[in-house]
Structure 1
Amino acid sequence: MRPVGSKYLLEEPLGRGATGTVWRARQTVPAGAEAAVTGSPGETVAIKVLKEELASDPDIVMRFLRERSVLLRLTHPNIVRVRDLVVEGDLLALVMDLVDGPDLHRYLRENGPLSPVAASLLTAQVADALAASHADGVVHRDLKPANVLLRESGGELHPLLTDFGIARLADSPGLTRTHEFVGTPAYVAPESAEGRPQTSAVDIYGAGILLYELLTGRPPFAGGTALEVLHRHLEEEPARPGNVPEPLWTVVERCLRKNPDERPSAENLARALRTVAQGVGVHASSAQIAAAEGVGALLAPDPSPAPVPQDPGGDPNAATTVLPTTGAPGGHDTAAATSD
């Protein structure tokens, strides 16, 4: 077993991504007052150890320390809790609650798409998590099924959104200069693909992509290269699948508006999805059906989206997410993680 700091021991890897590896770990002594959760010896946790090249970047280390308080205070029933942050030598790690269950990407691959009602209710819980984070000024920026963990309770799936802050930590000036972007091509909002200013509306776009994938088993835009996928986000409108009820398609379409100023708030999205779930179910009353058919009224544009903050002293006009200058060869996995 490998120690992380003076309080944790890594036991086995649970998953690897572009920015690091998630491990099952064990706490050896209680954490100090700087941690959000003290914990106790023998307790099992999840630890994300960032890659060495990130941990050796002074910009990322400073960002990690600067955002410590934000990450530690972000709590919600649908957000994986960050318990502690470890900064030691060339090691950066986030200590989190361990979620004993698959991520949504794996679940869909093994079980297939969800029904319209189930997809609506699951996405509503993800929207609840986004509403809480946006109210605290935190934008996720890499919402996708792989970043939604599932805990099963009483036969129901309870989604928990993870990797808050990872996209921003990885979006260093060095990465920006080399024209790498933060996010995953299949889930990137148009304004992010073009390097325009980003707000919480990018998460609403990601929620729309996620909802589409829950209903169909695949994201709406695909292609042989990342560049091809990003251009489709900019230029194409998704076609409505035949199995998606009209009220639910209204929700998807509003989330996927190319203009971020036309997308709803996370709070209104959650409300709309629950209204639709009630109205498209087999036991829906006439009033619930009518409410679902009028769901567009609940999806007014968000009047005050949370901005993605600039770094102190950074260039406010610098693009943090840009179209790559060259595409990958055929067979590139456009849904593969670039910042998870």
Structure 2
Amino acid sequence: MTVSMTGSLIDNRYHLHELLGVGSMGAVHRATDRLTQTTVALKQVTTALDHLGLVPTSPTPVPTTLNTALANEFQTLASLHHPHIIDVLDYGFTAAGPYFSMEYLPAAQSITEAGLALDLFGRVDLLIQTLQALAYLHRHDIIHRDLKPANILVRGGSLKVLDFGLSVQRAHGSELGGTLAYIAPEVLAGQPPTEAADLYAVGVLAYEMFAGRHPFPTDNISQLIRQVLGESPDLGALRFPPIKGGSPARQSARLAAAMTAIIGRLLAKTPSDRYPSAQAVIGALGEALERSDLAEESAEVRESFLKAARFVGRTAERDQLLAALADAIDGRGSIWLVAGESGIGKTRLLDELRIPAMIRGITVLYGQAGPGSPPYQYWRAPLRRLALSTPLSDLDAGVLKTILPDLDNLLGRSIPDAPALESRDARQRLITTIAGVFRAQPLPVVLLLDDLQWASESLLPLREMARNIHELPLLV
């Protein structure tokens, strides 16, 4: 049973509203992100570890705790950037359990619902968007394993695949998972899921879009399993709507036969009889519709394949940072500089620090600036996050408001301006106040400051903190 969390505040940041649904891993609520004042979908994980099918995304020992497994899964989710995959915005661990937030899709329809109002090209376009998302996942060794209409949403013609709670690496996991009506025959028979199992689910979706029903009756579980394992679907039930604005000649028996053959091959009982890849299905659909351009990848899709690198090497540096993290947890903070040319893996190395810190419930803050950024830009995002959980006097809040102009809204109270001082004194007061906020943290904090080549006076608060950082639970 899922207990309603409506009205709760998660991690001092997310205010939960109505329940949107209950998925394979837990409950999803509409939520307001107090930091960004935007609406998100927040999923709280409630499922036991052995039901998740989670495995590590690097060649390390299999996780033995739920938080470690989930951190690896969340990191995978957050690293996925594709126009047809839901964006995971943030994740964390609280006393109430792990969570992650996603972009919110109001008034979205499932792929089957959206397809009802579309002609043949429109429905095929939705299938191709799904297949493009799968091609991206499969090329990153990720199998979705729970493709179904509710996990493929359409809004404004754009499709998003979501709910990767059962995604696994190709080489791991053989336990049965997913939604029964969309599970491939070989998986029902006990074989581990592969890319071909995801393609079978696409076949079921395509059948539903063009026949108006599932390939087999779903009201009797035993009968459904028996038919999925041993009976062929009735491909004669497929109906292909006219192409809007198309000539009768294009609505030929050849087109219907080609589409039927594609769906039939996707629904083949044996994985090797299906298409070898999602991209191959896209190509087949392009040939059937005489649209070779459908197989072409956009620049946005091509770029997405470059954004999910695995951690390779740098183990000595990682171990140094993890040792510094352990010291910070014990109240012996330190400051580290990670330097090097662009593209050598600095950000990836810091991920190896960030994830273990989050697993331990440590607050991880991130500050960044660029050319032309205003002074103290590095501190704006970290301070906004800390302001949600740190008691601030009117004086301190008034000082911080000079660089956080929306602090009144963030804290939900009117903040008076700090007393005016000479420029030099005002700057020193700001530096002292920023450092004081970090010194006031009773629990460990990891602060990641990126692109320091643009820093000038923005680093003065760091110099102030360095005076006694060895006595603080702070790692910078």
TM-score class normalised by the smaller sequence: 0.5 to 0.7
- Tell me, in whole angstroms, the C-alpha distance in 2 between the residues paired with 1:80 and 1:270: 21
In the aligned structure 1, how far is the partner of 2:11 from the partner of 2:42?
11
Partner of 2:165: 165
Give the structure 2 partner of residue 120 of structure 1.
124
Pair 1:86–1:103, CA change in 2 (3 A)? farther
Residue 268 in structure 1 maps to residue 280 in structure 2:
yes
The answer (yes or no) to whether the contact 1:254–1:263 under 8 Å persists in 2 is: yes
Deviation, 1:266, is 0.6
SS at match of 2:19: strand
2:211 to 205, 212, 216: 216
Partner of 2:106: 100
**What is the CA distance between 1:168 and its match in structure 2?**
5.0
Calculate the aligned-residue CA RMSD, in Å. Answer: 3.0
Mapped to 1, the partners of 2:51 and 2:139 lie a distance apart of 32
Q: SS of 2:289's equivalent?
A: helix
Structure 1 pair 55–197 and aligned structure 2 pair: CA distance change class (3 A): closer
Is 1:77 matched with 2:83?
yes
Gapped regions of structure 2 (runs ≥ 5):
1-6, 53-63, 241-255, 295-476
18 and 276 in structure 1: CA distance in 2 versus 1, 3 angstrom threshold: same
Given the superposition, is the C-alpha separation of residues 195 and 55 from structure 1 closer, same or farther in structure 2, using an over 3 Å criterion?
A: closer
Q: Report % sequence identity.
A: 30
Change (3 A) 1:227 1:90: farther
- How far apart, in 2, do the equivalents of 1:190 and 1:73 lie? 31
Decide whether the 8 Å contact of 1:188 with 1:230 is kept in 2: no
1:67 match: secondary structure: helix
Q: Is the 8 A contact 1:192 1:202 kept in 2?
A: yes
The answer to whether the 8 Å contact 1:71/1:165 transfers is: no
Verify the 8 A CA contact 2:142 2:167 in the aligned structure 1. Answer: no
Higher relative contact order (CA 8 A, sep 6+): 1
1:55, 1:91 within 8 Å by CA — same for their partners in 2? Answer: no
Residue 144 of structure 1 deviates from its aligned partner by 0.9
Asked whether the 8 Å contact 1:126–1:159 carries over to 2, the reply is yes
Which letter maps to 1:164? F
Render the CA deviation track for 1:153-193: whole Å, top value 9, x for unaligned.
xxxx2111001234559xx99x95xxxx4111111101111
Aligned length: 258
Q: Is 2:194 the partner of 1:190?
A: no
Aligned residue for 2:40? 45
Q: Deviations over 1:240-292 (max 9, x none)?
A: 1252411111110111111112222011112222333347xxxxxxxx8xx99
Secondary structure (helix, strand or coil) at the match of 1:149 reads strand
Counterpart check, 1:202 vs 2:193: no
Query: Matched residues in 1 for 2:227 and 2:121: separation?
Result: 28
* Structure 1 position 85, deviation (Å): 1.6
1:248 partnered with 2:270: no
Distance 1:225 1:197, change over 3 A: same
In structure 2, distance between residues paired with 1:243 and 1:55 = 41
Aligned partners of 1:205, 1:261: CA distance in 2, in Å? 11
| 1:1-340 equivalent positions in 2, closer than 5 A | 1-29=7-35, 40=36, 42-51=37-46, 59-104=65-110, 107=113, 112=116, 114-152=118-156, 157-166=157-166, 168=168, 181-240=176-235, 241-244=237-240, 245-264=256-275, 265-278=277-290
Could you list the runs of 5+ residues in structure 1 that have no partner in the other structure? 30-39, 280-287, 293-340
Distance verdict in 2 for CA 1:234–1:114, change over 3 Å = farther
SS in 2 for 1:143: coil
**Where does residue 315 of structure 1 map in the other structure?**
none
What displacement does 1:54 show? 6.1
**Shift in CA distance, 217/59, structure 1 to aligned 2, threshold 3 Å:** farther
Change beyond 3 A, Cα 1:275–1:4: farther
Question: Could you tell me how far 1:127 is from its partner in structure 2?
Answer: 0.1
TM-score (norm 2): 0.50
Mapped contact 2:137–2:143 kept (Cα < 8 A):
yes
Judged with a 3 Å threshold, the aligned counterparts in structure 2 of structure 1 residues 249 and 227 are, in CA distance, closer, same or farther, namely: same
SS in 2 for 1:195: coil
* Structure 2 Cα separation of the partners of residues 128 and 248 of structure 1: 18
Amino acid at match of 1:145: P
Question: 2: CA distance between counterparts of 1:113 and 1:216?
Answer: 14
* Separation (CA, whole Å) in 2 of partners of 1:222 and 1:18: 23
2 CA distance for matches of 1:234 and 1:168? 23
Q: Give, in angstroms, the shift of residue 238 of structure 1.
A: 0.9
CA contact 1:103–1:147 (8 Å) conserved in 2: no
The superposition leaves residues 136-165 of structure 1 with CA deviations (integer Å, 9 ceiling, x where unpaired) of 11110011111011111xxxx211100123
Determine the structure 1 residue equivalent to 2:362: none
Secondary structure of the 1:251 match is helix
Q: Distance in 2 between matches of 1:102 and 1:225?
A: 30
* Equivalent-residue separation in structure 1 for 2:161 and 2:150 (angstroms): 9
After TM superposition, give the deviation of residue 225 of structure 1 in Å. Answer: 2.5
User: Following the alignment from structure 2 to structure 1, what is the Cα–Cα distance between the partners of residues 154 and 107?
Assistant: 5
In 2, the alpha carbon distance for the partners of 1:52 and 1:126 equals 26
Contact kept, 8 Å, 1:221 with 1:233, in 2: the verdict is yes
- Secondary structure of the structure 1 residue equivalent to 2:98: strand
* Paired letter, 1:187: Y
SS of equivalent to 1:267: helix
TM-superposed CA distance for 1:116, in Å, is 2.9
| Larger CA Rg, structure 1 vs 2 | 2
- Separation in 2 of the partners of 1:49 and 1:105? 25
1:77 match: secondary structure: coil
Secondary structure at the counterpart of residue 70 of structure 2: helix
Instruction: Pick closer, same or farther for the CA change 1:223–1:96 going to 2, 3 Å.
Output: closer
